[in-house]
Amino acid sequence: MQNLIISGIGPLSPSGAGKEKLWELLSGSPSVIKEITRFSSLPGAKGGEIADKDIDAHIDARKFRRAADVSKYAMAAIGLAINDAGLDSVRGEDSAMVAAITHGALNYTQDYHESLLTGGVEDISPALFSDSVLNAPAGNASICFGIQGAVHTIIGGVSASIKASIMACRLLEEDSIQRAAVIATEEINELSFYCRRKFGESIMSEGAGAILIERNNGERNSQRYCSISGFSSYLDTSDLDKSFRTAVDRALAMAGIKKQDLNFALVDMPPGIHSGYLDNIQQNSVSRYTGNAFCVSSIWNIIIAAYIIDKGFLPEYFSETGKKPDNADNIKNVLVCSLEKTGSAAAMVLTKIA
């Protein structure tokens, strides 16, 4: 595999826009998990909402004012990642994009169904339909940023962002492109909140995250957070632990390291499921502090893993001592991995650039 690096990160989380806000959330900031304001039909529902939906600060959004929140979040996150990478633009055929989606624009979908059922055909806004299709965030973002290389949307649960990142690495290997953006985006919706609560998940979240992946060829004096040294995804519906172990082992093998070489792991598991496979590795997850944002949870994990490697130390809530170490340069390999209750597992190893 070519030497691929993460050169820009852009989280839009309930703690705010940008990497510093996400880091602060994991370093002693007050909790962002509060009573949901989006809807009132589920009293006591708690989660991490995006407080500031004005994305004009991040992109020229006038053209997209009618877009669904998932699309707006995606565009804001990519704008943040592009700025973070020190790029003026990603316009053109040498940029690609892969989006991860779990539910998509559920609020528009819900409004659309309601319009159709209560008002009839004439009552439907075409925008509610076109912006509720699953690839709308990727479509809107590609238009917003002029991305004309391959643009894909990968559907999945928490593993989808890792799979989308793997896809982006493949595109850099196979296509004549300079960079690939990976985005994940989700929005809180009352129906999905209701269903997830029935399935035993009580705290939801929303937002987006984006990373930029480039070749580490020194052509651009770019920000370089870390290299992507290994990845894998696997599904065995009959044996969840085997799925998880296989994905992790293959990612480690690709990176040329062993489990004990990992300094930290960011792990997302479904409620009530535990794999002992990484028990000896210090681990945590952003979603513990934001609520479950599905595919976005794992892009936030990738983003914070890259930032941890760049900074050389863990944020306070992730650290066993709770303090910045004296030798802030001892984090070399971080694993980001996930397992879904279907058995779908994915893993990615991020490594300090030598």
Partner 1 sequence: MGIISAHGTGIEDNWLNVAEGRSGIKEIESFDSSRYRGCSGGEAAGFTDTHLDRLKNKRLDRASLLLIHAVREALSKADIINSINDEDIILSLGTTLGGMLSGQMFHQEAVKKGIDKARVSLVSDYLAHYQPVNIFREFDLRGDTIMFSDACASGANAIGYAYRCIGNGEHNTAVCGGYDTMSEFTFAGFNSLMAVSPAMCRPFDINRDGLVLGEGAGILVLEELRSALGRNANIFAEIIGYGKSSDAYHMTSPDPSGRQASNAISSALKDAGNPDIDYINAHGTGTKFNDAMETAAITHSFGDRAVSIPVSSVKPMIGHILGGAGAVEGIISILSIINKTLPPNLNYNTPDPDCGLNIVRETSSHEIKTALSNSFGFGGSNASLIFREYPCKI
Binds partner 1 (CB under 8 A): choice among 20, 35, 89, 199: 199
169, 214 in Cβ contact below 8 A? no
Q: What distance in Å separates the CA atoms of residue 202 and residue 158, rounded to the nearest whole number?
A: 16
Our finding on whether 321 is near partner 1 (CB under 8 A) is: no
The owner of tokens 């705290």 is 203
Our finding on whether 167 is near partner 1 (CB under 8 A) is: yes
Q: What distance in Å separates the CA atoms of residue 115 and residue 121, rounded to the nearest whole number?
A: 8
Give the interface segment with partner 1, choosing from 20-28, 78-86, 159-167, 279-287 (CB under 8 A). Answer: 159-167
Binds partner 1 (CB under 8 A): choice among 87, 150, 168, 304: 150
CA-nearest of 186, 157, 189, 165 to 268 is: 157
Our finding on whether 110 is near partner 1 (CB under 8 A) is: yes
Give the interface segment with partner 1, choosing from 160-168, 204-212, 278-286, 310-318 (CB under 8 A). Answer: 160-168
For partner 1, which is the closer residue by CB, 170 or 215?
170
The string of DSSP letters for 231-250 reads EEEEE-TT-HHHHHHHHHHH
Q: What distance in Å separates the CA atoms of residue 97 and residue 146, rounded to the nearest whole number?
A: 11
228, 6 in Cβ contact below 8 A? yes
Give the interface segment with partner 1, choosing from 103-111, 207-215, 275-283, 296-304 (CB under 8 A). Answer: 103-111
Give the interface segment with partner 1, choosing from 45-53, 116-124, 223-231, 321-329 (CB under 8 A). Answer: 116-124
The type of residue at 177 is: I
CB of 83 to partner 1, least distance (A): 19
The owner of tokens 């910045």 is 324
CB of 29 to partner 1, least distance (A): 32
Q: What distance in Å separates the CA atoms of residue 238 and residue 55, rounded to the nearest whole number?
A: 43
Element (H, E) at 97: strand 95-101
Neighbours of 87 (CB within 10 A): 19
- The backbone region for 174, taken as left when phi is positive above 0, alpha when psi lies in -120 to 50, beta otherwise, is alpha
Our finding on whether 230 is near partner 1 (CB under 8 A) is: no
Our finding on whether 195 is near partner 1 (CB under 8 A) is: yes
Our finding on whether 154 is near partner 1 (CB under 8 A) is: yes
Give the interface segment with partner 1, choosing from 4-12, 110-118, 271-279, 331-339 (CB under 8 A). Answer: 110-118
DSSP letter assigned to residue 103:
S
Neighbours of 4 (CB within 10 A): 22
For partner 1, which is the closer residue by CB, 138 or 308?
138
Contact pattern from residue 236 through residue 275 relative to partner 1, giving x for each residue in contact according to CB under 8 A and a dash for the rest: xxx-------------------------------------
The type of residue at 162 is: I
Binding site for partner 1 (CB under 8 A): 41-42, 91, 93, 97, 101-103, 109-110, 112-114, 116-118, 120-121, 124-126, 129-136, 138-140, 142-143, 145-157, 160, 163, 167, 170, 174, 190-191, 194-195, 198-199, 233-238, 342-344
